């Protein structure tokens, strides 16, 4: 994985058919996905449950691009090794998930993964300042984590701009997660984002049997770059 700041669309499989993840991943990659975003939820840090390392490992066999694993779990540290072994390329942990995010980021890199730091909408991006050199990616949540299909939180645009200035020319991705669609995408890209997670806006209207809408949806979001 070499670093570049070109726009990347990362469909979230939270909006895919849970009984058919393998073929969903193949379909959305064939339709132009740059990364695959995998949402892990524990019913404790966030009020929803998804799946754990065995599912991520099973998915890995179908992902040919970057597998971007978003851990919405607390505690995080006891599970880092298992998710790394499951084949995650990027492991993103929340700054709010425990008292030792510095240790968590160290542990993610020590496990051989790229390290991501996620911040909830209620958390100032300034808190990331002492951690930036330990991060390969900062994920700015533009919804409260836990569910797909929520509305984009406008006030996060200022935070994205602030983070972009803080990062400067360091090789750190700015990822946006939540409510990304063809309307919000140009604005987050203008604010400095380079990785756009999108669940409902990518998977709506399509299926494994009829995947062309995935491609059209991705193209509409990617057009953000030219806006």
Residues at the contact surface with Zn ion, assessed by CB under 5 A: 39, 70, 177
10-18, 49-57, 77-85, 166-174 -> range binding ligand DX5 (CB under 6 A): 10-18
Residue closest to 13 by CA, chosen among 34, 42, 36, 46: 36
58-66, 119-127, 147-155, 186-194 -> range binding ligand DX5 (CB under 6 A): 147-155
A 10 A CB-CB count for 151 gives 10
Active site residue 39: yes
- Burial code (b: 16+ CB inside 10 Å, e: under 16) for 160-190 equals bbbbbebbeeeebbbbbbbbbbbebbebbbe
CA distance to 29, 122, 134, 164, per residue, from 101 (Å): 32, 17, 10, 21
The residue annotated as part of the active site, out of 34, 39, 42, 194, is 39
Position with the least CB separation from ligand DX5: 199
The minimum distance between CB 169 and ligand DX5, in angstroms, equals 27
Q: Does 70 bind ligand DX5 (CB under 6 A)?
A: yes
The minimum distance between CB 9 and ligand DX5, in angstroms, equals 11
Active site residue 20: no
Q: Tell me which of 69, 80, 153, 180 binds ligand DX5, using CB under 6 A.
A: 180
Place of tokens 């006891």: 78
Binding site as annotated, residues: 12, 37, 39, 70, 146-149, 177-179, 199-200
Quote the longest CA-to-CA distance of the chain: 47
CB 190 within 8 A of CB 164: no
Chain residues binding ligand DX5 by CB under 6 A are 12, 14-15, 37, 39, 70, 143, 145-150, 177-180, 197-201
């Amino acid at each position: 994985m070499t670093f570049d700041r070109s726009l990347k669309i990362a469909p979230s499989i939270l909006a895919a058919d849970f009984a058919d993840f393998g073929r969903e991943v193949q379909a959305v990659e064939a339709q132009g996905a740059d990364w695959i975003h995998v949402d892990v939820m524990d019913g404790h840090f966030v009020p929803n449950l998804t799946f754990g390392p065995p599912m991520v490992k099973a998915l890995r066999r179908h992902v040919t691009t970057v597998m971007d694993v978003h851990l919405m779990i607390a505690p995080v540290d006891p599970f880092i090794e298992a998710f790394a072994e499951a084949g995650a390329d990027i492991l993103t942990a929340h700054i709010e998930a425990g008292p030792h995010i510095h240790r968590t980021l160290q542990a993610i890199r020590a496990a051989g993964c790229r390290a991501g730091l996620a911040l909830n909408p209620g958390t100032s991006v300034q808190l990331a300042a002492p951690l930036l050199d330990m991060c390969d990616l900062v994920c700015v949540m533009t919804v409260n984590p836990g569910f797909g299909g929520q509305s984009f939180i406008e006030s996060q645009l200022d935070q994205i701009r602030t983070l972009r200035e803080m990062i400067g020319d360091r090789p750190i991705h700015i990822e946006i997660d939540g409510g990304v669609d063809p309307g919000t995408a140009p604005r987050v890209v203008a604010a400095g984002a380079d990785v756009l997670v999108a669940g409902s806006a990518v998977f709506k209207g399509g299926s494994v049997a009829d995947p062309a809408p995935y491609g059209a949806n991705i193209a509409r979001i990617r057009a953000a770059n030219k806006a």
